[in-house]
C-alpha cells in the first residue's frame, strides 16, 4: 500500500534557508527531506532515502510525523533521559577541588578510596571514569606506581 507524501506547507526557498541555518544533525536531515520534496529533486520515499542515505521506512516515519503533527512535531526529537548521577552535588564539588590539587591521584582506585573516606560512598568503575574524564576532563597527574623506573 502506498501512502502519499505529505502536502508541504512551506515553500522551497524558506526550507532551503532553514536547512542552511539548522545546526542539529538529526534535524538537518529531516529538513533536507522536506527541501528535496519541495524543490522537486525527489518524488518518492525511495528517492529521498537514496539521496539522504537512510532507509525508506525512516522516510516513511518522518512523513507520518509531519502529516500528523506538522513541522513542530516533526522536528521534536526524542532524547532519552538517562540515569541520574549517583553522587550528590556536594560530593562532586569536593571531588573537583581534589582533582585540581597539584598532587592529584595516581589511579582511579585512589579516587575511589578518597570518595569512600570522605563521603562513605562506593562508586563503580564506569561512574568514576565518566565523572573524572567526561565531566571534569581530568587525567592522572602522577604516574602509576607500576610505571615508575626502579633504581
pLDDT in tens, 57-116: 988 888 888 888 777 777 777 666 666 666 778 888 888 888 888 777 777 888 888 888
More confident call, 139 vs 62: 62
Quick one: pLDDT at residue 82?
65
CA atoms within 13 A on the CB side of 83: 6
- The per-residue pLDDT for range 22-60, each reduced to its tens digit, is 877 777 888 888 888 888 888 888 998 999 899 989 888
d(CA 5, CA 60) in angstroms, rounded, equals 8
Q: Which three cell numbers stand for residue 93?
A: 564539588
Q: By three-state DSSP, how is residue 131 classified?
A: helix
Quick one: pLDDT at residue 79?
62
User: What Rg do the C-alpha atoms of the chain give, in angstroms?
Assistant: 25
Percent of all residues in the chain with a pLDDT value above 90, rounded to a whole number: 3
d(CA 99, CA 111) in angstroms, rounded, equals 9
d(CA 12, CA 8) in angstroms, rounded, equals 9
| Rounded average pLDDT over 11-17 | 83
Quick one: pLDDT at residue 1?
47
Quick one: pLDDT at residue 45?
86
pLDDT bucket at 125, cuts 50 / 70 / 90: confident
d(CA 67, CA 7) in angstroms, rounded, equals 8
Quick one: pLDDT at residue 11?
80
d(CA 107, CA 141) in angstroms, rounded, equals 9
d(CA 93, CA 132) in angstroms, rounded, equals 12
Q: Which three cell numbers stand for residue 135?
A: 565531566
Tell me what the pLDDT averaged over the chain comes to. 78
Quick one: pLDDT at residue 108?
80
Amino acid at each position: 500500500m502506498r501512502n502519499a507524501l505529505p502536502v508541504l506547507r512551506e515553500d522551497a526557498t524558506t526550507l532551503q534557508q532553514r536547512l542552511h541555518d539548522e545546526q542539529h544533525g538529526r534535524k538537518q536531515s529531516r529538513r533536507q527531506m522536506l527541501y528535496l520534496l519541495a524543490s522537486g529533486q525527489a518524488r518518492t520515499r525511495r528517492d529521498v532515502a537514496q539521496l539522504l542515505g537512510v532507509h525508506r521506512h525512516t522516510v516513511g516515519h518522518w512523513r507520518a510525523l509531519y502529516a500528523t503533527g506538522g513541522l513542530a512535531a516533526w522536528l521534536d526529537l526524542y532524547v532519552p533521559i538517562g540515569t541520574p548521577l549517583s553522587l550528590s552535588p556536594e560530593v562532586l564539588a569536593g571531588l573537583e577541588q581534589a582533582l585540581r590539587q597539584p598532587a592529584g591521584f595516581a589511579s582511579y582506585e585512589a579516587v575511589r578510596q578518597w570518595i569512600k573516606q570522605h563521603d562513605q560512598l562506593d562508586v563503580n568503575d564506569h561512574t568514576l571514569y565518566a565523572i573524572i574524564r567526561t565531566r571534569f576532563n581530568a587525567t592522572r597527574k602522577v604516574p602509576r606506581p607500576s610505571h615508575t623506573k626502579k633504581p
